[in-house]
Amino acid sequence: MGYTTGNGRDMTSVMYRMEGPPIHEQTLGSADAMLLRLLDGDESMGGTKQPYDPRIHFVLIRDAYLDANPGNEDLRKWLDDALDQFDAVYLGTRPGFLEGYAALKEKITPWGG
């Protein structure tokens, strides 16, 4: 089953098992394409592409952790706060991959930190 609810979630599928937690999957083609752009030394492909937005991967991680830890409101708050930081960094004109990573590292406090 797939669902679309906004940036990042449109690439996520959720498979429900007969027993146990759901399985979250995502197409990794976008990450592969971004890696190739970085290796080629032109992340924007001559200005034709926007820099990569890793938020899609964090949304998948968030959903999987929440499904595996139902009722853990501290975890939900931390993940939601981190997602707000992704939105702050990537809203509007996206930074380059390395610049975006550095901004996230500065803004997000590690779990338990």
Q: How far apart are CA 34 and CA 40, in angstroms?
A: 10
Q: Which pLDDT belongs to residue 85?
A: 96
Residue 86 has a pLDDT of 93
pLDDT of residue 31: 64
Regions of the chain with pLDDT less than 50: 1-10
Looking at residue 77, its pLDDT comes to: 97
Quote the pLDDT of residue 12.
55
Give CA torsion, residues 67, 70, 73, 76, to 10 deg.
Answer: 0
